[in-house]
């Protein structure tokens, strides 16, 4: 098969520096293994902006293939990230695939499933027993979870510059293609490819003209920590009764025991409710907590952290996921699951997928051939999640109607079979092949639903 000529302005993706070992960027706080050989130390095969779960996953997988990867992270580890700190079996599987060990005697708290409270009922559902996913989830504070992942990527050979805020792309005038990035201190880094792993706001994507889509769901969540006797709960707990006057809101409150004397407690809502944008989330959290038994300790005196919030970009709310040398992973690509607000598993999975695509692209011998591979990334993401996310968008529209939310909560909670089905659907936890009738039904519906 003959290779097509590259389109005008397509830079050469083939190795420009074959045989050279990666170099060490001078200055800033470089923590990665020092290397030498790249001119000026300011280039790499791949520049990854952001070292959250998505950035560390893509860097880890790229480094294992021998590519020179440079992660640029604006903060210093360990650092806080506003999150519920909950990891479902899907996230545990992704961690295991990366070789991150999660022993219970090293700060990883295991959980057996989900406890759901709402509509006057309460049910405990164990995670499903599947060959595709482990039967347990985990809790780990993001304050050190993200550091563990970043160090794991470094051990595999990725370089990391902490305290390095990226301010914008370097764009080739002729092709409009990103060829590198600039930082707050005026440094320039060049790469054959750039990955946006800079989270929900993804300023890098915005600077490349990729804005959030208004037609996709968005969540907002706030959380804090309390000293609590419930700190070692072995179920993740979700409360569906979040009221705004007489309206039942589309979202849930959570209580996740951290195993360290505290519980992570928060509320998250979807933008499909009519009052979205006007709701005082901190007040909603306080009102909800006021209904809890006092012995659980969710009081102001026991609060150990400020109440902080952030957005959850859902269901591909930034596209395309690849354009002009820039690849989007995790929250930058709006990959949070609209059914349950889970984002870490999708950050890790998209990081792995992106790395596999990039590795193949950079091994091609012509730019046009490499470009064709890179352009398959959005399609592969759609194949993986597109149908499921379309269903999720229908789901968030439905639960945005208080009457539907009330009906579903009241009638669903009392029916264990419905709740087990819901758990598989909401958690995206089905056997990838075969499985029981529920797995086959959910997989078939997801496949048949168009990825839009
Ligand atoms: C309140 C709340 C609770 C949540 N609870 C859960 C939960 O329990 N379980 C779950 O699975 N998901 C949860 N999520 C979602 C989850 O936090 C995200 O989906 C996940 O963090 C996405 O990972 P990421 O690597 O894509 O982005 P991020 O984790 O946001 O990482 C982005 C990184 O990029 C860095 N960065 C940003 N801009 C720049 C720049 N200009 N230059 C250099 N570096 C930059 C940031 O410092 C950060 O380290 C929650 C979200 C919120 C808001």
Answer yes or no: is the C-beta of 89 below 6 A from any ligand 1 atom.
Answer: no
Span from the CA of 150 to the centroid of ligand 1 (angstroms):
13
Render pLDDT for 276-314 as a digit per residue (tens, 0 to 9): 888 899 999 999 999 999 999 999 999 999 999 999 999
Which ligand 1 atom sits closest to the C-alpha of 204?
41
The predicted structure's pLDDT at residue 288: 93
Answer yes or no: is the C-beta of 325 below 6 A from any ligand 1 atom.
Answer: no
Q: Give the C-alpha separation, 267 to 282, whole Å.
A: 9
The predicted structure's pLDDT at residue 293: 93
> 51 with 73: CB under 8 angstroms?
yes
Query: What tokens does 288 get?
Result: 């909800």
The predicted structure's pLDDT at residue 49: 98
**Ligand 1 mutation target, pool 344, 346, 354, most atoms within 8 A of CB:** 344
Span from the CA of 199 to the centroid of ligand 1 (angstroms):
5
Torsion angle (degrees, nearest 10) of CA 224, 227, 228, 233: 70
| pLDDT at 402 exceeding the cut of 50 | yes
The predicted structure's pLDDT at residue 248: 86
Answer yes or no: is the C-beta of 72 below 6 A from any ligand 1 atom.
Answer: yes
Q: Give the C-alpha separation, 382 to 446, whole Å.
A: 11
Which ligand 1 atom sits closest to the C-alpha of 268?
1
Higher pLDDT, 241 or 125: 125
Average the pLDDT over 235-254 and give the result.
90
> 250 with 244: CB under 8 angstroms?
no
Residue in this structure with the two tokens 């320039």, named with its chain if needed: 188
| pLDDT at 12 exceeding the cut of 60 | no
Average the pLDDT over 401-419 and give the result.
82
Q: Give the three-class secondary structure for 390.
A: helix
Of 186-190, 209-213, 400-404, which gets the smallest average pLDDT? 400-404
> 243 with 252: CB under 8 angstroms?
no
Q: Give the C-alpha separation, 378 to 384, whole Å.
A: 10
Q: How many CB atoms lie within 10 A of CB 120?
A: 10
pLDDT band at 432 (very low <50, low <70, confident <90, very high): confident
Of 75-89, 216-230, 383-397, 414-428, which gets the smallest average pLDDT? 414-428
Render pLDDT for 125-158 as a digit per residue (tens, 0 to 9): 999 999 999 999 999 999 999 999 999 999 999 9
Q: What is the pTM of this model?
A: 0.92
The predicted structure's pLDDT at residue 381: 97
Which ligand 1 atom sits closest to the C-alpha of 85?
8
Span from the CA of 191 to the centroid of ligand 1 (angstroms):
24
Answer yes or no: is the C-beta of 73 below 6 A from any ligand 1 atom.
Answer: yes
The predicted structure's pLDDT at residue 398: 87
Torsion angle (degrees, nearest 10) of CA 10, 74, 155, 14: 10
Terminal CA-CA length for the chain: 32
Answer yes or no: is the C-beta of 148 below 6 A from any ligand 1 atom.
Answer: no
The predicted structure's pLDDT at residue 282: 92
Span from the CA of 81 to the centroid of ligand 1 (angstroms):
7
Q: In sequence order, what DSSP letters do the residues of 396-424 get, joined into one string?
A: HHHHTSHHHHHHHHHHHTT-HHHHHHHHH
Answer yes or no: is the C-beta of 331 below 6 A from any ligand 1 atom.
Answer: yes
| pLDDT at 105 exceeding the cut of 50 | yes
Answer yes or no: is the C-beta of 132 below 6 A from any ligand 1 atom.
Answer: no
What mean pLDDT is reported for the chain? 89
Higher pLDDT, 272 or 73: 73
Answer yes or no: is the C-beta of 51 below 6 A from any ligand 1 atom.
Answer: yes
Higher pLDDT, 300 or 404: 300
Q: Give the C-alpha separation, 269 to 276, whole Å.
A: 8
Span from the CA of 221 to the centroid of ligand 1 (angstroms):
12
> 297 with 269: CB under 8 angstroms?
no
The predicted structure's pLDDT at residue 239: 94
Answer yes or no: is the C-beta of 310 below 6 A from any ligand 1 atom.
Answer: yes
Answer yes or no: is the C-beta of 55 below 6 A from any ligand 1 atom.
Answer: yes
The predicted structure's pLDDT at residue 13: 53
The predicted structure's pLDDT at residue 169: 97
Q: Give the C-alpha separation, 89 to 135, whole Å.
A: 6
Render pLDDT for 35-51 as a digit per residue (tens, 0 to 9): 333 344 489 999 999 99
> 375 with 322: CB under 8 angstroms?
yes
Answer yes or no: is the C-beta of 138 below 6 A from any ligand 1 atom.
Answer: no
Answer yes or no: is the C-beta of 427 below 6 A from any ligand 1 atom.
Answer: no
Contacts of 245 (CB under 8 A, 6+ apart): none
| pLDDT at 414 exceeding the cut of 90 | no
Which ligand 1 atom sits closest to the C-alpha of 88?
11
Span from the CA of 80 to the centroid of ligand 1 (angstroms):
10
Torsion angle (degrees, nearest 10) of CA 73, 76, 82, 88: 70
Could you give phi then psi for residue 55, rounded to 5 degrees? Answer: -65, -45
Span from the CA of 383 to the centroid of ligand 1 (angstroms):
24
Closest residue by Cα to residue 49 from 145, 208, 149, 164: 164
Span from the CA of 57 to the centroid of ligand 1 (angstroms):
13
């Amino acid at each position: 098969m003959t290779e097509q000529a590259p389109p005008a302005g397509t830079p050469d993706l083939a190795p420009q520096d074959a045989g050279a070992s990666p170099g060490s960027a001078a200055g800033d706080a470089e923590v990665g293994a020092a290397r030498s050989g790249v001119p000026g130390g300011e280039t790499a095969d791949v520049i990854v902006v952001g070292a959250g779960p998505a950035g560390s996953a893509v860097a880890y997988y790229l480094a294992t293939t021998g590519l020179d990867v440079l992660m640029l992270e604006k903060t210093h580890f360990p650092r806080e990230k506003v999150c519920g700190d909950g990891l479902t079996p899907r996230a545990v599987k992704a961690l295991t695939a990366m070789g991150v060990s999660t022993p219970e005697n090293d700060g990883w708290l295991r959980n057996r499933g989900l406890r759901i409270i709402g509509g006057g009922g309460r049910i405990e559902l164990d995670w499903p027993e599947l060959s595709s996913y482990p039967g347990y989830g985990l809790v780990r504070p993001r304050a050190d979870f993200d550091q563990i992942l970043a160090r794991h990527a470094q051990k595999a050979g990725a370089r990391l510059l902490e305290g390095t805020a990226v301010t914008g792309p370097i764009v080739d005038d002729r092709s409009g293609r990103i060829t590198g990035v600039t930082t707050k201190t005026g440094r320039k880094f060049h790469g054959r490819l750039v990955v946006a792993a800079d989270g929900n706001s993804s300023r890098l994507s915005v600077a490349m003209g990729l804005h959030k889509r208004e037609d996709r769901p968005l969540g907002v969540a706030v959380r804090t920590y309390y000293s609590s006797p419930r700190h070692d709960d072995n179920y993740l707990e979700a409360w569906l009764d979040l009221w705004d006057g007489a309206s039942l809101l589309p979202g849930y409150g959570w209580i996740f025991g951290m195993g360290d004397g505290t519980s992570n407690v928060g509320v998250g809502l979807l933008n499909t409710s009519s009052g979205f944008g006007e709701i005082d989330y901190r007040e909603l959290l306080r009102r909800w907590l006021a209904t809890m038994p006092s012995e659980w300790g969710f009081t102001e005196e026991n609060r150990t952290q400020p109440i902080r919030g952030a957005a959850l970009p859902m269901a591909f709310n930034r596209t395309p996921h690849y354009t002009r040398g820039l690849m989007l992973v995790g929250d930058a690509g709006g990959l949070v699951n609209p059914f349950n607000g889970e984002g870490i598993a999708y950050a890790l999975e998209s990081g792995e997928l992106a790395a596999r695509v990039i590795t193949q692209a950079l091994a091609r011998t012509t730019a046009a051939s490499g470009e064709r591979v890179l352009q398959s990334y959005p399609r592969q993401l759609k194949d993986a999640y597109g149908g499921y996310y379309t269903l999720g968008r229908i789901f968030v529209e439905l639960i945005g109607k208080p009457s539907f939310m009330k009906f579903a909560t009241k009638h669903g909670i009392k029916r264990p079979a419905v709740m087990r089905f819901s758990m598989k659907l909401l958690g995206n936890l089905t056997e990838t092949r075969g499985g029981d009738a529920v797995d086959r039904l959910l997989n078939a519906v997801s496949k048949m639903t168009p990825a839009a």
